[in-house]
């Protein structure tokens, strides 16, 4: 904590590329080195499964990357205490693997484990705040309801909801892909997370808010537009017929040049092989049989007849290629001659008309003037201009509230779970009324998924509905829901650096095992592994067998 003055935000993901054929080996990218995750999303690997570390090889890559970014040498030994967060009620096996990695691989002097939401609660405490409270922590993968009594976590009554920001982003992606099937590939998870962070909010009353969105005026005033990337080159209707014709001619010219180049290369290669075969044939004619047979072996041939057959085939191929090259040159010249504009032929009958015939026709024109309809002047047709930018826009209406609503109504995505309000009420009902009143006086919201506008008001509304008449409660939001866990861990490490409380030393690891945990104000509750002990065999159970052998000296006679 002392050598990390500012938090370093790195995604807990890694990509291992296979590498090019015949080139360098596999390349590993970690954290912010990934850049945009969309091209590599199918290769992304995370050491966590629902915020519980399960892949220790990837965890080691992440730790190496973090130590390198912080300027800490990780070769051989990391001579710094480590403060690490873990999941609520973390499995002992997961903690055991993490302790083994830190103590055996990095040789750290001591380690402390804590819960991120409790660190945030610890950092945001004030002088008039009670030590007890109800912590609502919602992150990327899950949401926790954590009761804290007298400064310590009550692990028996903690509840977990397997919904978070990841599920909201997937739900929003599904909604927009159904709404805009033409932009299926452009509606990515990264853009959905951006929409959730910048455009979404929690409705205080979901049904009432949906009724407001049915009004066209409300829709126009509250609808947000998101511009997708596009390119004008994709719009082919903007080209005129002359430009299209010119483009076709350029493509035809390129194809002709490419074919001519390939024919010349083929001709050169065939000519070289033919010269080589003719040279071998000259060796036969000159009587140099040893060199001739050696050359046949190099050419993978058996006899002079096979050599003559190959010479005939190559000669025919060379002549055909030369004819094709000449024919292509003639075709190019013909195309140039035919590309001149043709003058339309004049009507032969029109040339035979005399001036008298034309004057006679003009004399009869007034007689038929009334019957002939007037020829309308051609009106220039105005074609509608297609706006490519508007076509690549996403209109965000009710999607702004539907995606984050899943933490209160998981049934929207088909999940058979309780929402935050029901789970919070269930946790409170497990305590007597006096402790319920103490817990609701400090309802604390933390985690990246609690940054939606309107979440605090929604929790207050839910508490108002479930609490007794004229009862009081208070809801607080973390000052920085994303970073307060880091700040709380830093504050705890600075305060307890010289104490033994909360720190697991290497001696503790070797004596008590990797799953051992020293509790502190922001840690889990340590529940040791209790193996059932086998009952020792008492003397009473052994008495009958002794009697059988002691009554007579010979066991066979006793039987």
Q: Which helix (H) or strand (E) holds 152?
A: strand 152-153
Residue-wise pLDDT tens digits, 396-425: 999 999 999 999 999 999 999 999 999 999
Is the pLDDT at 337 greater than 60, yes or no?
Answer: no
Lowest mean pLDDT among 207-216, 278-287, 331-340: 331-340
pLDDT higher than 70, residue 361: no
Q: Which of 99, 81, 53, 86 is nearest to 153 (CA)?
A: 86
pLDDT for 457 equals 95
What's residue 346's pLDDT?
A: 42
CA distance 4 to 72: 10
| Per-residue model confidence (pLDDT) at position 98 | 93
Q: Encoding tokens for residue 526?
A: 């340590």
CATH classification code of 164-232+388-415? 3.90.640.10
Tell me which range, 60-69, 232-241, 273-282, 471-480, is most confidently predicted by mean pLDDT.
471-480
Q: Quick one: pLDDT band at residue 221, thresholds 50, 70, 90?
A: very high
Mean per-residue pLDDT for 82-89? 92
Residue 546 has pLDDT above 50, yes or no: no
Distance of CA 276 to the CA centre of its chain: 58
- Cα–Cα distance for residue pair 59/62, rounded to 1 Å: 5
Per-domain boundaries in the chain: 164-232+388-415, 244-330
Contacts of 121 (CB under 8 A, 6+ apart): 133, 135, 148, 444, 446, 488, 522
- Among residues of the chain, what percentage have pLDDT more than 90? 44
pLDDT category of residue 109 using cuts at 50, 70 and 90? very high
Tens-place pLDDT, residues 517-543: 999 999 999 988 776 666 666 555 444
pLDDT of residue 489: 93
Residue 222 has pLDDT above 90, yes or no: yes
pLDDT for 25: 55
- The overall average pLDDT reported for the chain is 81
- Which is more confidently placed, 361 or 475? 475
Average of pLDDT values for 142-150?
94
**244-281 per-position pLDDT tens digit:** 888 888 888 888 888 888 888 888 888 888 888 888 88
CA distances from 425 to 138, 160, 265, 431 (A): 17, 13, 81, 11
What's the mean pLDDT in 346-362? 46
How confident is the model over 149-203, as pLDDT tens digits?
Answer: 998 999 999 999 999 999 999 999 999 999 999 999 899 998 999 999 999 999 9
Instruction: Determine the Cα–Cα distance for residues 156 and 128; give it in Å rounded to an integer.
Output: 27
Confidence of residue 296 (pLDDT cuts 50, 70, 90): confident
């Amino acid at each position: 904590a002392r050598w990390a003055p500012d938090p370093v935000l790195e995604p807990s993901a890694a990509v291992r590329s296979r590498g090019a054929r015949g080139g360098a080996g596999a390349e590993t990218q970690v954290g912010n080195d990934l850049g945009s995750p969309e091209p590599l999303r199918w290769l992304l690997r995370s050491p966590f499964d629902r915020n519980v570390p399960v892949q220790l090889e990837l965890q080691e890559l992440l730790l190496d990357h973090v130590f390198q970014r912080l300027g800490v040498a990780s070769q051989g030994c990391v001579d710094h205490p480590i403060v690490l967060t873990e999941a609520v009620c973390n499995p002992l096996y997961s903690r055991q693997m993490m302790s083994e990695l830190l103590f055996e691989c990095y040789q750290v002097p001591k380690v402390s484990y804590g819960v991120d939401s409790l660190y945030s609660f610890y950092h945001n405490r004030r002088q008039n705040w009670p030590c007890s409270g109800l912590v609502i922590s919602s992150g990327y993968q899950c949401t926790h309801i954590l009761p804290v009594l007298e400064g310590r976590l009550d692990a028996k009554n903690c509840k977990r909801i397997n919904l978070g920001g990841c599920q909201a982003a997937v739900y929003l992606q599904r909604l927009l892909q159904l709404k805009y099937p033409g932009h299926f590939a452009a509606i990515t998870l990264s853009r959905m997370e951006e929409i959730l962070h910048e455009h979404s909010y929690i409705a205080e009353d979901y049904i009432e808010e949906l009724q407001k969105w049915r009004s066209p005026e409300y829709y126009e005033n509250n609808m947000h537009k998101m511009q997708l990337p596009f390119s004008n080159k994709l719009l082919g209707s903007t080209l005129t017929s002359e430009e299209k014709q010119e483009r076709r001619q350029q493509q035809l010219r390129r194809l002709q040049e490419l074919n001519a180049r390939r024919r010349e290369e083929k001709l050169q290669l065939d000519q070289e092989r033919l010269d080589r075969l003719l040279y071998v044939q000259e060796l036969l004619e000159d009587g140099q049989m040893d060199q001739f047979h050696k050359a046949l072996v190099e050419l993978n041939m058996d006899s002079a007849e096979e050599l003559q057959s190959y010479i005939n085939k190559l000669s025919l191929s060379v002549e055909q290629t030369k004819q094709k090259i000449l024919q292509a040159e003639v075709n190019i010249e013909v195309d140039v001659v035919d590309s001149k504009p043709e003058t339309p032929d004049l009507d032969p009958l029109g040339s035979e008309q005399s001036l008298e015939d034309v004057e006679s026709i003009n004399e009869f024109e007034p007689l038929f003037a009334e019957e002939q309809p007037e020829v309308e002047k051609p009106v220039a047709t105005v074609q509608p201009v297609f706006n490519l930018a508007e076509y690549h826009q996403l209109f965000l209406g009710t999607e702004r509230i539907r995606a984050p609503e899943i933490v209160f109504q998981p049934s929207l995505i088909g999940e058979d779970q309780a929402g935050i309000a029901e789970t919070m009420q269930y946790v409170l009902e497990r305590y007597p009324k006096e402790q319920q009143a103490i817990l609701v006086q400090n309802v604390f919201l933390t985690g990246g998924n609690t940054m939606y506008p309107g979440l605090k008001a929604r929790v207050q509304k839910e508490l108002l509905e479930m609490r007794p008449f004229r009862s009081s409660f208070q809801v607080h939001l973390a000052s920085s829901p994303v970073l307060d866990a880091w700040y709380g861990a830093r504050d705890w490490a600075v305060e307890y650096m010289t104490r033994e409380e909360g720190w697991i030393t290497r001696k503790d690891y070797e004596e008590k095992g990797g799953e051992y945990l020293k509790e502190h104000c922001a840690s889990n509750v340590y529940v040791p592994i209790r193996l059932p002990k086998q009952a020792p065999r008492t003397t009473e159970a052994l008495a009958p067998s002794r009697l059988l052998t002691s009554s007579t000296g010979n066991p066979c006679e006793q039987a």
